[in-house]
Amino acid sequence: MNAESGFEIKPVYGSGDVAPDVDTRLGEPGAYPYTRGVYPTMYTQRPWTMRQYAGFGTAAESNARYHQLLAAGTMGLSVAFDLPTQMGYDSDDPIAHGEVGKVGVAIDSIDDMRQLFDGIPLDKVSTSMTINAPGSVLLLLYQLVAEEQGVPGSALTGTIQNDILKEYIARGTYIFPPKPSLRLVADTFAYCRAEIPRWNTISISGYHMAEAGATPAQEIAFTLANGIEYVRAAIAAGLAVDDFAPRLSFFFVARTTLLEEIAKFRAARRMWARIMRDEFGAKNPKSLMLRFHTQTAGVQLTAQQPEVNLVRVAVQALGAVAGGTQSLHTNAYDEAIALPTQKSARLALRTQQVLAYESGLVDTVDPFAGSYVIEAMTDEVEAAATALIERVFSFGSSVEAIEQGFQKQEIETSAYRISQQIDSGERVVVGVNRFGIDEEEKYEPLRVDPAIEADQAARLAKLRADRDSPAVEAALEDMRRAAAGTENVLPPMRAALRLRATVGEVCHTLRDVWGVYHPVEHF
């Protein structure tokens, strides 16, 4: 039997399958090379941050769900935005028709952001926002709302995904070409260092590549290669590596292949520590730490017998925790059908709480350390991922490899292979190609009211009628000049948003200066 990453899984492992110096290479938890975890105590003093990814319909509806999740014991919020927001369009833009509020919450302006976090103390809640191309725009709206609450930027904690390179590889919600996109990422690093110093300025993501079909080795290889590209861009913009690297974070998937996933997380930590120390000369230990958020594998959830997904999610979450994640989102069992209901979202959170408070996993650090199979698999995943990173940089850079379609083609090949294995029955998916039932139970999914689109358009019309339009135009022109030059675009962007410029207006201004990205098809 082969692992997803391609190496052979042996029936029995012994001392001959691990390197003779495995004990000295492992190190201790919280010490280089961080194979055993980034903190010396890990979960023994406090568990990982339990986040639940939520957002749908209007800001008011999502706000109500956030209050429910916080009451149920969620430690941090994770915001899902709708597709128009992710692409930098307002809800009343013709291109947004039919998508408003569907896969996340619609945020058009500071008015919506204010409503989204109404009654939620932003100095006490850590917030993660899954937003990329317009990540800086949504972060500034969040900061402005916090300031209205009397919370300074220095007190804010959370993460914006802000990982544009993986959008070109696997997800597609890009706006601008790679070079200005990297410039915007670097501007965000610099802005947050001065204004929001505790904020994680990027979540370099392998999750979406995995969802598109990447193997565990491909997931960490292409993610770390993108990480190298971001570090290079920031250094080229004049930032010192130890000034921004401690705020880098990562985002990975947790699949049901439990042992390979634990090995993947351990290999990724070891690789990143070595890259930051040896390639970039980082001196601050925090610059060497690969801190990451994990989400269970949405792509492995099935519409058939959806309750079985509760078991899948529990196994996936176990792998993430045993692998040393810093925060975790567990998918709801019904997400293969529709947006999760309040009950299914609560059950997903309860899965984490059982692991934290009933399983004993938090009582000791890195419980799988020294296992023959785990140590051998960690070496195998690391070797496969290292070879892939070398192939990426044989093109010159991660961006040049993306422009040649390398990562996308590799992932599509892996996805096709896995699909063939499922179709043939070689890879079992319970309830799909084995252990099916004759008749599925009826399920009533949560549905988004299509009237939301008209409601958002009405809110936008009122906003544009009430605001000081000449002041907004002048602020957008200041931002346009910054984008055309070399100064940081975030301060003038913040001024425009404070005056109630919309997300779409800000992004259209940048489109006018930087253009839009059109992918080249490679066959």
Lowest mean pLDDT among 21-25, 73-77, 450-454: 21-25
Which residue type sits at 147? E
120 Rama sector, left if φ>0, alpha if ψ -120 to 50, beta otherwise = beta
> How many domains does the chain contain in total?
2
* Residue 132: CB atoms within 10 Å: 28
Which residue type sits at 457? A
CA dihedral (228, 234, 238, 241) positive or negative: negative
Which of 377, 405, 424 corresponds to the end of one domain? 424
User: Quick one: which H or E segment has residue 453?
Assistant: helix 452-466
Q: For 185-237, what is each residue's pLDDT tens digit?
A: 999 999 999 999 999 999 999 999 999 999 999 999 999 999 999 999 999 99
Average pLDDT over residues 123-143: 96
Pair 161, 40 in one domain: yes
Pair 177, 258 in one domain: yes
Residue 166 lies in a domain: yes
Say whether pLDDT at 252 is over 80: yes
**How far is residue 303's CA from residue 274's CA, in Å, rounded to a whole number?**
41
**How far is residue 234's CA from residue 246's CA, in Å, rounded to a whole number?**
13
Pair 260, 359 in one domain: yes
Between strands 158-160 and 49-54, the pairing is: unpaired
CB 460 within 8 A of CB 470: no
Token digits of residue 208: 């979406």
- Whole-model pTM over 0.85: yes
CB 52 within 8 A of CB 69: yes
The DSSP annotation for 56-76 comes to -BSHHHHHHHHHHHHHHT-SE
Percent of residues in the chain assigned helix, strand, coil, to nearest 5: 55, 10, 40
Q: How far is CA 511 from the centre of its chain?
A: 24
Q: What per-residue confidence (pLDDT) applies to 266?
A: 98
Residue 358 lies in a domain: yes
Token digits of residue 197: 């110093």
Share of the chain above pLDDT 90, in %: 87
pLDDT band at 299 (very low <50, low <70, confident <90, very high): very high
The number of C-alpha atoms within 13 Å of 411 and in the hemisphere containing its C-beta is 27
Pair 372, 481 in one domain: no
CB 248 within 8 A of CB 199: no
Average pLDDT over residues 423-440: 89
> CATH number for the domain including 264?
3.20.20.240
Between strands 49-54 and 76-80, the pairing is: parallel
Residue 8 lies in a domain: no
Residue 328 lies in a domain: yes
Q: What per-residue confidence (pLDDT) applies to 522?
A: 53
Q: What per-residue confidence (pLDDT) applies to 446?
A: 66
Q: Using a CB cutoff of 8 Å and minimum separation of 24, what contacts does 354-360 make?
A: 354/314, 355/314, 355/317, 355/318, 355/321, 356/43, 356/47, 356/48, 356/50, 359/318
CB 133 within 8 A of CB 175: yes
Pair 249, 373 in one domain: yes
Residue 485 lies in a domain: yes
Report the chain's mean pLDDT, rounded to a whole number: 94
Pair 387, 476 in one domain: no
Pair 344, 492 in one domain: no
Q: What per-residue confidence (pLDDT) applies to 234?
A: 94
Residue 438 lies in a domain: no
Q: What per-residue confidence (pLDDT) applies to 140?
A: 98
Which of 424, 446, 472 corresponds to the end of one domain? 424
Residue 84 lies in a domain: no
Q: For 39-88, what is each residue's pLDDT tens digit?
A: 999 999 999 999 887 788 899 999 999 999 899 888 888 899 999 999 99
**What single-letter DSSP state applies at residue 370?**
T
**How far is residue 192's CA from residue 372's CA, in Å, rounded to a whole number?**
43
pLDDT band at 443 (very low <50, low <70, confident <90, very high): low
Over 146-184, what HEC string results? HHHCCCCHHHCCEEECCCCHHHHHHHCCCCCCHHHHHHH
**How far is residue 194's CA from residue 187's CA, in Å, rounded to a whole number?**
11
Q: Which residue has the tokens 């495995």?
A: 22
Which of 375, 407, 424 corresponds to the end of one domain? 424
- Domain span at 463: 455-514
Q: What per-residue confidence (pLDDT) applies to 523?
A: 42
Residue 79 lies in a domain: no
Q: What per-residue confidence (pLDDT) applies to 154?
A: 97
Give the residue among 274, 203, 286, 205 at the shortest CA–CA distance from 243: 286
Say whether pLDDT at 181 is over 70: yes
Q: What per-residue confidence (pLDDT) applies to 137?
A: 98
Query: Which of 12-21, 351-360, 447-456 holds the top average pLDDT?
Result: 351-360
* Residue 469: CB atoms within 10 Å: 13
Lowest mean pLDDT among 94-103, 500-509, 513-522: 513-522
Q: What per-residue confidence (pLDDT) applies to 447?
A: 73
**How far is residue 520's CA from residue 329's CA, in Å, rounded to a whole number?**
34
Q: What per-residue confidence (pLDDT) applies to 24?
A: 76
Give the residue among 145, 210, 177, 157 at the shortest CA–CA distance from 49: 157
Q: Which residues contact 405 (CB under 8 A, 6 or more apart)?
A: 520, 521, 522
Question: For helices 503-514 and 178-195, what crossing angle results, to 10°?
Answer: 130
Pair 196, 315 in one domain: yes
Pair 495, 354 in one domain: no
pLDDT band at 329 (very low <50, low <70, confident <90, very high): very high
Give the residue among 508, 492, 459 at the shortest CA–CA distance from 109: 459
Say whether pLDDT at 445 is over 80: no
Over 15-50, what HEC string results? HHHCCCCHHHHHCCCCCCCCCCCCCCCHHHCCCCEE
Pair 366, 509 in one domain: no
CB 157 within 8 A of CB 164: no
Q: Which residues contact 45 (CB under 8 A, 6 or more apart)?
A: none
Pair 169, 22 in one domain: yes
Pair 254, 364 in one domain: yes
